[in-house]
Chain A
């Protein structure tokens, strides 16, 4: 350790969707040596900030020429895919979407492989929701539905609920009731005030029975009704109830949980106030959905092949790759963070990888360009799991800025089209 340490306060962590923005990052000798306030996930995400800065596979040394090669390859594809991996600023996401639009490509990202069910349910029903700060300041009943945030969202409980003092909860944890709902092996937190247990098979009936019970009706067999009634009573007594669910850990077998939880929280508002809090993993996943929505009207799985955005959630990137319907791919963002199913399906597809550690990635890409990580090496905006935007600042130099590089690639594509 040598030289004076540099302190970067109020850094935003994208280790999970909580996007804690109170991290003080200590930098010494060009490396991150500490990330104060960060949880274990956050420490892993920040790492030491070191990155490779290679450009591999291009025929030329000059980056402009490599971009020209990429443009040529993507333009000659019949059915290209632009894939948004995590750890991108929203500025980079927007630039990548622009490229998909130019190329008439298929655009998708990790959302359609992980959290699609909840998004589709919310498009059918809407949703009753609250931002994390609202939950912190108002929720007196907090139900963790088949999720224990301790592992995947480690600071959720200390930063948002149930632990902090809030405007309407002057005694913090003491003023709140925490209810753990265990569904099969998906358990709620250990230190809950009340625990409700069910098997995965029981869950759909339990949810419909709970909705009926909130409305004053009794549905279901006695063993379920007893558990349901206790929970419904507690929810109806709440001033502001929040049900927390993990979009990244759906039931092992799809059973309509996302849809039912939306309906349940909406109907809570007939008598009291209630919201559903949907947790997403890190790397600005919500940013991908949000920016894609404002640019196209759809949050994932957008097909530009006819020159207009068309929504294809039922035929997303993965099935297209699996049946050989994609003949070139531009993968943008942290390749290491995409689902293994997608990584596997990309094998054999001519691929360009642009993102942090692209040069080291297991993706079989013909050209790889290393860039920086959003919020560590690159500045911009990221979206918290509740869709609130937060600032990102570059703490360390980036090998090359992803958003700028993608805009240059867009310009190269436009120039080739103009001269074609």
Chain B
């Protein structure tokens, strides 16, 4: 099973009690928006579980990582045996964050030459984090609720289809709207930094399962008679991909285009979404 979003939220000391409260209810909220979510909470926020859900070979998380925890220049933390433990560090950051978007409510992951910057250089699409330690309110109350609403404004914007820049601006605006309420809002705001691979990236247009394949050759075709819309195309160097099965006409048209490309050894471009072909060009 794969999911759109992975939430990591440990709870093993006073600080993570605070970050845990900030992310309380987030899984249900995101599921209410139609997103598939896995939550690694408390003892489940272990290095092993994070690796299981993020390693690029198994591809179990498709779009977005949300981490509410300790952090440092060297990495982002979860917990093991009720003590903090690095779950994403400079050694595994490429494998675990490549082609994903990352938000950390954690200390110092996004300073210069820190793990966030390295992640972007290794293929992570966006990393929004803080350049220095963050402050959190550790008791339920109006300030914690306001801090939570700030942070969730970024997540909501990303999940609703905004670009990372737009979502970052939503977060900044929310922080600013609470500057009068406590110094922590300005402090966290001033240490926020978005690093990105390029401009205008969104979780639904740039992720691990949505990509254009260009200049490839069709090497095989498959249609399963007993089932409607069960058609696969084999691409050289890529393997079998299913045609998008929502409409009869699209399946037939794609199969025809692919058959033409195969017979003429033409080059094709195709758009893959979660293992299925949604668009195909034959040249």
Task: Tell me whether A and B are bound partners.
Answer: no
